[in-house]
Amino acid sequence: MSLISVKNNKERFEIKIFKIRFSHKKKHKDINLINRKITIIIKIKTFLYKYFIQPFVLKRNEKKPVRYLEIGPGETRIKDFEGINIVKTSSADYIADLSKKIPLASDSFDIIYTSHFLEHIAWYNVEPVINEIYRILKPNGILELWIPDGLKIAQQLILAENGTLKTTPDGWKRRNPDDNPYLWVNGRLFYGDNPTYPSWHKGLFTPNYLMQILQKAGFKNIEKMDNSQCRGYDHGWINLGIKAQK
């Protein structure tokens, strides 16, 4: 092969590599642009609903003799439950940043249900949020609370470090195609995989720690639930459910 032929082949190869890199960069740029547009649309939709429609919805629902609230529903919520979320979704009646204050009257709800919401609250702000939930529950009202079990996450990290655990313990492989238990721990502990809403986990809870927080807020009859009592989506093995009464 001549030197000219080798040079031409090298140039073609370098051009091909450049095209691949450019294509990947363009793809990521397009995805980021789409995410930014979605975020802007959600913010506009949330603003308009919160200030122009929500007051009328709240006034209507306050007349109900029995009320149920789901905190942090996804696109669908439990039947007969009102919904409150940080952004407007099809399942949200109320928009609020619950890390600050819940804009609902005291003693309003017979049942409050929340699944995988509390871990999105900063660990140092969890007690005020639980106090707010306690406030809006009616006397003898029930709180049903589901979160990732921090004790199980910690135990799996120890097993991975000891070499005992080689794969994910429950088959959850978000951004973890190689089934790496260390990545599983990070995903379960921090999450943060949804760019269109605040999806990072900011707190870690074990059964005893969560019961301690609820007791401090004034709750009574605090007990663990099993997965069969989960009203909404069941996150499976990682799910920790606690029920408490005001």
pLDDT of residue 194: 82
The yes-or-no verdict on residue 27 having pLDDT over 60 is no
Higher pLDDT, 2 or 97: 97
So what's the pLDDT on residue 21?
52
Instruction: Say yes or no: 48 and 75 in one domain.
Output: no
Give the integer Cα–Cα distance in Å for 28 and 6: 33
Same domain, 77 and 37: no
The residue out of 29, 52, 75 marking a domain boundary is: 52
Q: Tell me, yes or no, whether 39 and 72 share the same domain.
A: no
Instruction: Assess whether 48 and 70 both reside in one domain.
Output: no
Q: Which residue has the higher pLDDT, 240 or 88?
A: 240
Report, as an integer, the average pLDDT of 72-91.
Answer: 91
42 pLDDT tier (thresholds 50, 70, 90):
confident
In a domain, 100, yes or no: yes
Residue 232 has pLDDT above 80, yes or no: yes
The pLDDT score that the predictor gives to residue 87 is 85
Do 104 and 6 fall within a single domain?
no
Domain, as residue range, for 213: 65-149+205-245
Contact 83, 75 (CB under 8 A): no
Residues 139 and 236 in one domain: yes
Q: Given pLDDT bands bounded at 50, 70 and 90, which one contains residue 18? A: very low
Domain-embedded: residue 89: yes
Q: Is 133 in the same domain as 82?
A: yes
Burial state string for 187-209 with b = 16 or more CB within 10 A and e = fewer than 16: bbeebeeeeeeeeebbbbbbbee
> Predicted confidence band at 173 (pLDDT cuts at 50, 70, 90)?
very high
- For range 31-49, the mean pLDDT: 77
SS3 letters for the chain? CCHHHHHHHHHHHHHHHHHHHHHHHHHHHHHHHHHHHHHHHHHHHHHHHHHHCHHHHHHHHCCCCCCEEEECCCCCCCCCCEEEECCCCCCCCEECCCCCCCCCCCCCEEEEEEECCHHHCCHHHHHHHHHHHHHHEEEEEEEEEEEECHHHHHHHHHHHHCCCCCCCCCCCCCCCCCCCHHHHHHHHHHECCCCCCCCECCCCCCHHHHHHHHHHHCCEEEEEECHHHCCCCCCHHHEEEEEEEC
Read off the pLDDT of each residue in 20-33 and give the average, rounded to a whole number: 55
Tell me, yes or no, whether 99 lies in a domain. Answer: yes
Please report whether residue 138 resides in a domain: yes
Residue 223 maps to a domain: yes
Average pLDDT over residues 148-162: 97
Same domain, 74 and 138: yes
Does one domain contain both 22 and 98? no
User: Span 204-226, mean pLDDT?
Assistant: 98
pLDDT at 36: 76
Judgement on whether residues 120 and 18 belong to the same structural domain of the protein: no
> What b/e sequence results for 23-43 when a residue is b if at least 16 CB atoms lie within 10 Å of its CB, and e otherwise?
eeeeeeeeeeeeeeeeeeeee
- Domain assignment present for 104: yes
Q: Is 177 a member of any domain?
A: no
pLDDT of residue 207: 98
As a whole-number percent, the residues of the chain with pLDDT over 70 amount to 85
CATH number at residue 89: 3.40.50.150
Tens digits of per-residue pLDDT, 126-150?
A: 999 999 999 999 999 999 999 999 9
Asked whether residue 159 is assigned to any structural domain, the reply reads no
Residues 11 and 98 in one domain: no
**Is the pLDDT confidence value at 47 over 70?**
yes
Structural domain count, the chain: 2
Instruction: Kindly state the average pLDDT of the residues 165-188.
Output: 95
Kindly state whether residues 145 and 82 are assigned to the same domain. Answer: yes
Work out the pLDDT band at 33, boundaries 50, 70, 90: low
